[in-house]
Structures are given as structure tokens and as C-alpha cells.
Amino acid sequence: MRKALAVSNIIAVIAIILFIIQPFRTAPPTPNVTAGEVSIPTTEGSYCWDGLLSGGCVDKAYSSVVAMAGEDQPTSVSPGEKITVTFKKKPQQIGAEKWVGKEQVESVSMKDHTIVVPDQKGVYVYHLVAHWKQGDGSYVFSVEVK
């Protein structure tokens, strides 16, 4: 009886460790993007990832970053609102771009995983590229400043 309990406890601890570390993961973590208490949906783009047992690259075909963001409706935000981007596994580096229309793009500075949206009304698409030791991933989301 005691051996069975000890074995089940060991299995439970191993399962918890594997769940937290996720060594068999074959894709980069998905970001949690929020504006205050509101969750902003993201679309995953192309990525490369090396898991413990497998790895590789996935190319997702979109005509543009703006088209990639078109999978979800823009989330309404207030002028100058702060958007927070977090991952379960913190990236070594993360970059962001802001798209206005289909061709106007500019780099966005992120401080403490936060992006501040413009004060001007309009729809803005944000493209994120995150880098980890195991690889990298790209994501987009869109907001409408009202």
C-alpha cells in the first residue's frame, strides 16, 4: 500500500514538472495580450521551435500582417491605453511594429512588456516577434482606438 502511494506521488510530481516545463512542446508559447481587464485575441504567425524530441518551422501563408490580423475583430481601447503582453515562458527578446493601413509600419517601443496605443482614433495592427532559446514566433492583434 505504501509503495503504491509513493509511486503515485512520484508520478504526480513528474507530471506537474512536465506540465510546467513543457519540454515536448513543438510550438512557441502563445502571448496573453490585455488592455486593462480585457483580453485581446491574437493570431499566431510563422514560427520555428526546437522541442526536446522534435522541432521545426511552420510557415503560415498570409498576404500581409494586416490580413493576418483580419481573423479577429479589432478590440476597442481608449486613447493612450496601455496594452500588456505576457508569455508563460518569458522571451529573451521581443519586438513590436504598429501597422496603420496596409503599408504604413513603424517600430514600437515596449517597456515592461507594455505598448501604449496612440491618442488618435483608428484601427491599429500590432505585429510581435518573440525570441527564445528554443526558437521564435510571430503574432498579431488589432485594436480600435475610439
pLDDT at 6: 72
pLDDT at 24: 56
Residue 8 falls inside a structural domain: no
* Beta-carbon count within 10 A of 44 CB: 17
pLDDT at 21: 52
The whole model's pTM is what? 0.79
10-residue stretch averages of pLDDT, the chain, 146 residues long: 73 62 70 96 93 81 79 92 95 93 85 94 95 95 95
pLDDT at 85: 97
The CATH number that applies at residue 105 is 2.60.40
Q: Which residues of 4-29 are buried (b: 16+ CB within 10 A; e: fewer)?
A: eeeeeeeeeeeeeeeeeeeeebbbbb
The total of structural domains in the chain comes to: 1
pLDDT at 14: 65
Range of 114's domain? 25-145
Residue 126 falls inside a structural domain: yes
